[in-house]
Chains A and B, each alone.
Chain A
């Protein structure tokens, strides 16, 4: 089945930052989390997909179409939710919706009304009167009202409380329930993705660090904790983001069982969260640079 989103060798160079060789693909009906620290390149990647900026190299395909050559057709299939949505604050939700809806060929007014209701957005407020959370919900309502096959979200939950974040995840799971909508969700709040993401890709300093099915990552990677002697026995073993402290060490490994065998008895193994995955990799990258 054709991937909904396929990115290969994506490269973009700035003065002080370079995005290089980003590749990943998202099959239909799944949620992909795109994680990374602030400034790692998440927003840049999304801007490249939406053709808000030009790419230097690589390819971006949405439903098999090149995102530049078929720009309008591609965008017709994409619902977007950005952090800090740009809407005319003076207008009401209805007025803004009327401006936007006319450009989508599959706009579904019924779906829009249902979405608003589902998110608890009542009445017809002025956009300036919406709180940050309501604004995100409004953007989501719009994004889910034109039968989009790809939902792209750039840090939609930053600055929002856990309750709203949880609601959002529920909405996303509903969105993919039919199997014909996929979600691409960039965030540095990884707890959102721990449960519901199907695939996770991590970016750091413009480079792809890992890209895999979330279950596979969390089943195989382990945080290992042990004493100095364990560390000695693990010399030469691929440890990620090793943190040495006066009483021992901790590190991330891609194969917990293998590490346990190498280090011997007493090594503590813990299942990592996505946040742990991110932290250890970031620490690892920082260490290399030093």
Chain B
């Protein structure tokens, strides 16, 4: 499980962890039923506080990506296809929203934005 934390980023660390694990689950890199490292183990490995990893897992559990089993740990939850697709869709939507807002802020016209999207999509 690859997790890369940036201390310099504005995004809270627990969120960085949660989002990165979430992406891996959504992309299928973390299969259903896989046991995630304990919050304490993860905290030690990433050199962050236990409260941080604890929150990350709570977020993931709240969003349905993992199940916390008392006494055993955190397991990747079953992601049914429709749900997965919906989640992936949401991720794209979120990213696009950010892009759209940024474009609006700087006054970029819609046509220019669409052109930009086309260029970026074709880039490999």
Contact = CB atoms under 8 A, between A and B. Distances in A.
A243 to B, nearest CB: 23
A198 interface: yes
A213 B52 CA distance: 10
B47 A30 contact: no
Contacts of B44: 170, 173-174, 177
A241 B7 CA distance: 24
A139 interface: no
B49 A214 contact: yes
Contacts of B61: none
Contacts of B47: 169-170, 173, 195-196
Contacts of B51: 30, 198-199, 213-215
B26 to A, nearest CB: 25
B103 to A, nearest CB: 20
A173 B55 CA distance: 17
A281 to B, nearest CB: 21
B41 A198 contact: no
A215 B52 contact: yes
Interface string B45-84: 0011111100100000000000000000000000000000
A173 to B, nearest CB: 4
Interface in A169-212: 169-170, 173-174, 176-179, 195-199
B40 A198 contact: no
Contacts of A29: 40, 50
A196 B10 CA distance: 18
B49 A179 contact: no
Interface residues of B, number: 16
Contacts of A215: 12-14, 49, 51-52, 55
Contacts of A196: 43, 47-49
A195 B49 contact: yes
A283 B40 CA distance: 36
Interface residues of A, number: 21
A271 interface: yes
A198 B43 CA distance: 10
Interface in A204-261: 213-215, 219
A199 B49 CA distance: 9
A198 B12 contact: no
A215 B12 CA distance: 8
Nearest to B47: A195
A173 B41 CA distance: 9
A3 to B, nearest CB: 15
B73 to A, nearest CB: 12
Interface of B: 7, 10, 12-14, 40-41, 43-44, 47-52, 55
Interface of A: 29-31, 169-170, 173-174, 176-179, 195-199, 213-215, 219, 271
Q: Which 6 A-B pairs have the closest CB atoms?
A: A173-B44, A198-B49, A198-B51, A177-B40, A195-B47, A219-B12
26 contacts: A29-B50, A30-B51, A31-B50, A173-B40, A173-B43, A173-B44, A176-B40, A177-B40, A179-B40, A195-B47, A195-B48, A195-B49, A196-B43, A196-B48, A196-B49, A197-B49, A198-B50, A198-B51, A213-B51, A214-B49, A215-B14, A215-B49, A215-B51, A215-B52, A215-B55, A271-B10
